[in-house]
Structure 1
């Protein structure tokens, strides 16, 4: 019974790996061409799937962490009250400079 469960798990992993290789876009495959990855996964079921997961699969996009400005961090012009006052003055035509 345990052998059947292990066999089904290996079959499921092999099918998952093969499906993953086939559905991955060509330009996102890493290290070797997609056709070679398909051959590796088909011909060497367990090891090929493991190598695909570690070395060939596209990396998941990482979410950018928001950067909180520190006390000395530069502000954008729209955050500077003096800049906004000067801009308002220039838009009204009160340019004294």
Structure 2
């Protein structure tokens, strides 16, 4: 029981610190419903309730798909390719290499084929 109470206390302190720092670093023009100083007082004087109120009613909302609170919001980036199957350049090179290996295997198997290189005659001495 003591461990659970300690964990809950640490979570509440972490939430409170996060909200205090978030209020301080948020631009005043973007804060909703109350002035910045008043939000800071609410969060500091009512740690749990003030933090939850800040997250629900005071924190600025982001436009859908954006990931920053700056005035020049950055649109989401193109997702990184996580597998080689998503990389067209890699697949093209892979196909070229496979075709070259097939050609080489055909030449070794059938030296009389029309696309096999002709061996140069040995010079007469």
TM-score, structure 1 normalization: 0.63
How far apart, in 1, do the equivalents of 2:17 and 2:7 lie?
15
State the distance in 1 between where 2:22 and 2:60 align: 10
Which of 32, 48, 51 in structure 2 is aligned with 1:49?
A: 51
**CA distance, structure 2, for counterparts of residue 8 and residue 37 of structure 1:** 22
Bigger helix fraction: 1
Which residue number in structure 1 is paired with residue 8 of structure 2?
A: 6
Q: Which has the higher contact order (CA 8 A, sep 6+)?
A: 1
RMSD: 0.8
Residue correspondence of structure 1 range 17-36 to structure 2 within 5 A: 17-36=19-38
Match of 1:62 among 61, 64, 82: 64
Alpha-carbon shift at residue 61 of structure 1 (Å): 1.4
Count of aligned pairs: 63
Runs of 5+ consecutive residues of structure 1 not aligned to the other structure: 64-97
Larger radius of gyration: 2
Distance in 1 separating the partners of 2:45 and 2:52: 13
Off by >4 Å, runs of 4+ in structure 1 = none
Structure 2, unaligned runs of 5 or more: 66-125
